[in-house]
Amino acid sequence: MLLWHTCGMSKKHEKHIDVDREKDDVKQFVRSLAATPSEVILDFDGQPQVSVTPVSLTSVDDDKVKADILKRRDQSRRLNKDWENVDREVWDRETPDHA
């Protein structure tokens, strides 16, 4: 399935189109868009007009996303702490010139 919307429109105004009623060449074109795992922008006269997004990308498990963000944050904090420790070892050590 695909979710179609004009660029800049909110989800409240999304329009569903029954492609089953269209000609075979239109169906084939839509199927080619559905096979793309990411958003597709259709341009007319060199300007973006329509955004086509696979529906599977719009369903997100909020708990999983939050858990992944927190995990990444913790990893980043550990990495930054490691670098802070290395900086202290290099810059705070006593050398013959600074002793």
C-alpha closest to that of 13 among 23, 2, 4: 4
Residues 67 and 53 in one domain: no
pTM for the predicted model, two decimal places: 0.40
Give the number of domains in the chain.
2
Render pLDDT for 30-88 as a digit per residue (tens, 0 to 9): 888 877 777 888 888 888 888 887 776 456 778 888 888 888 888 888 877 777 777 77
Residues 70 and 41 in one domain: no
Determine what percent of the chain falls in helix, strand and coil, rounding each to the nearest 5. Answer: 50, 20, 30
Domain co-membership, 65 together with 53 = no
Residue with tokens 């955004």: 51
Are 9 and 59 spatial neighbours (Cβ–Cβ below 8 Å)? no
**What pLDDT, on a 0 to 100 scale, did the predictor assign at position 23?**
93
CA distance 5 to 7: 6
Domain that holds residue 65: 60-99
